[in-house]
Structure 1
Amino acid sequence: MAVAVGEKHREVGKSGTVVPGPVLLLGAPGVGKGTQAQAIMAAWGIPQISTGDILRSNVSGGTELGKKARALMDRGELVPDDLVNQMVADRLQLPDTAKGYILDGFPRTLGQAEWLDSYLAERSGGLPVVAVSIKVGYTQLLRRITGRRNCPVCKSIYNIYLQPPKVDTLCDLDGTPLARRSDDTEEVFEERMRTYESLTAPVIEHYRACGRFQEVDGELPVDAVTAAVMAAVLRLRGAAS
């Protein structure tokens, strides 16, 4: 059933009748935002807009905004909201954003969310942001992160809890001992969770108060999560438009 719903959304997206508009996909480390973003991009034909990519593009391209950002970064300072906002505004003027886009890493703060709302409201016919949060339980997230292992030779990926190799610690394909990323520890995960929650809580409450926020169950099969996210966007878009 979940696949059928996803296929329906995919067909509608190709017909050009669905305009998803700006979609903010939220979720703690390990919930699978990247996987879901790729599926939604393919279904609706919209780009993913990453502030990290935008920043790197401006810096490497030597734009005026990039030069200002590089000067700050070279001094070890954070790039301020107003500079990030200007870069995002430039990116949103490109034609591939006409139907919508998935926001990645922005808005990260309440100030950025308020700026984005004002910016979009000023654009003729601009749709507001709708936010969907993928929720996965703490224990499941911890297993997804700390259980990750990879083969340094063939790059195969395993999870000792959820998708273990046939022989403990060895790659199924070439028998190479599996490696673990140095930051895939419970201590690092807990710190990342604290950072995520402290940063996103005000953003979530902002969109919840605006009636443009919904949570979906991220522990469902991948196709079912995709279908749930897309259905949530369409529901929120109906209420927000």
Structure 2
Amino acid sequence: MTVTRLLIIGPPGAGKGTQASKIAEAYGVPAISTGDIFRANIKGGTELGQRVQAIIEAGELVPDTLTNEIVQDRLQQEDAAGGFLLDGYPRNVEQVHALDGMIEGDALDAVVLLEADTDEVVARLLKRAEIEGRADDTEEVIRHRQDVYAEQTAPLIELFTERGILVSVDGLGGIDEVAERIAVALSAKLGR
């Protein structure tokens, strides 16, 4: 059985969630989003959800130790035995090292970097905020999230480039157009 371990990264609003489900389907692996796991636990009122909700309500980031624990638990589930596609994790170099330990030295096969022009992404997110009634998604807030992403992710991009597993793809355009670019890039990288 071929095990496929993938990660998708890119700025908020670049379409990672949409593309993650397409990639996961193409490779027959689960798409694992830490944000989705957090939201599901909060909605379900689990002990984990209550801990995460308290952290978020305090305006803090969920600490690495808790995030690592959640991801490790999820990767041990049966459906992830043949691989996975991570979305939203790892977010920093420390989490990359934690992930390396979780998958027992079996490195990620490829990291898809969805590249997108900041102004385009901000416009996309402002439109989504308007449609979904997200009053707190102001241009200032969205641009701040873009800056935080750029600051946190630059070291990851460098690390994955050094490991020779980064695949950069233009994330702007129609959903199917971007999905095709990703499929071609991953096929070339993975040889399948």
Q: TM-score over 0.5 for the alignment?
A: yes
- Amino acid corresponding to residue 81 of structure 1 in structure 2: D
- Amino acid corresponding to residue 185 of structure 1 in structure 2: T
Tell me the SS of whatever aligns to 2:122: helix
Deviation at 1:143, TM superposition (A): 2.3
Give the percent of matched residue pairs that are identical in Structure 1 and Structure 2. Answer: 37
- Equivalent-residue separation in structure 2 for 1:145 and 1:67 (angstroms): 26
- Equivalent-residue separation in structure 2 for 1:31 and 1:74 (angstroms): 23
- Amino acid corresponding to residue 157 of structure 2 in structure 1: I
- Amino acid corresponding to residue 38 of structure 1 in structure 2: S
How do residues 51-200 of structure 1 correspond to structure 2 at under 5 angstroms? 51-55=34-38, 60-62=45-47, 66=48, 69=51, 73=55, 76=58, 78-122=61-105, 126-148=106-128, 149-150=130-131, 180-200=133-153
- Given that 1:117 and 1:129 are in contact with CA atoms closer than 8 Å, whether structure 2 keeps it comes out as no
Tell me the SS of whatever aligns to 2:172: coil
Tell me the SS of whatever aligns to 1:22: strand
Deviation at 1:226, TM superposition (A): 0.9
More helix by share: 2
Deviation at 1:67, TM superposition (A): 8.8
- Equivalent-residue separation in structure 1 for 2:157 and 2:56 (angstroms): 32
- The 1:138/1:79 distance shift into structure 2, 3 A limit, reads closer
Q: Name 1:234's counterpart in structure 2.
A: 187
Moved more, 193-202 or 183-192: 183-192
- Given that 1:20 and 1:237 are in contact with CA atoms closer than 8 Å, whether structure 2 keeps it comes out as no
Output one character per residue of 1:49-75: Cα deviation in whole Å (capped at 9) or x when no partner: 12234345667444xxx3994697399
Q: Name 1:211's counterpart in structure 2.
A: 164
Higher relative contact order (Cα pairs below 8 Å, separated by 6+ residues): 2
- Equivalent-residue separation in structure 2 for 1:222 and 1:180 (angstroms): 23
- The 1:190/1:117 distance shift into structure 2, 3 A limit, reads same
- Equivalent-residue separation in structure 2 for 1:103 and 1:141 (angstroms): 21
- The 1:71/1:182 distance shift into structure 2, 3 A limit, reads closer
| Paired residue total | 187
Instruction: Name the Cα RMSD after superposition.
Output: 3.0
Output one character per residue of 1:188-232: Cα deviation in whole Å (capped at 9) or x when no partner: 221111111111111111111111112101123321211221232
Please report the TM-score for the alignment, with normalisation by the length of structure 2: 0.80
- Amino acid corresponding to residue 85 of structure 2 in structure 1: I
- The 1:183/1:209 distance shift into structure 2, 3 A limit, reads same
Tell me the SS of whatever aligns to 1:30: coil
- Equivalent-residue separation in structure 1 for 2:136 and 2:148 (angstroms): 15
- Gapped runs of 5+ residues in structure 1? 1-16, 151-178
Please report the TM-score for the alignment, with normalisation by the length of structure 1: 0.66
- Given that 2:38 and 2:52 are in contact with CA atoms closer than 8 Å, whether structure 1 keeps it comes out as no
- The 1:75/1:28 distance shift into structure 2, 3 A limit, reads closer
- Equivalent-residue separation in structure 1 for 2:56 and 2:110 (angstroms): 35
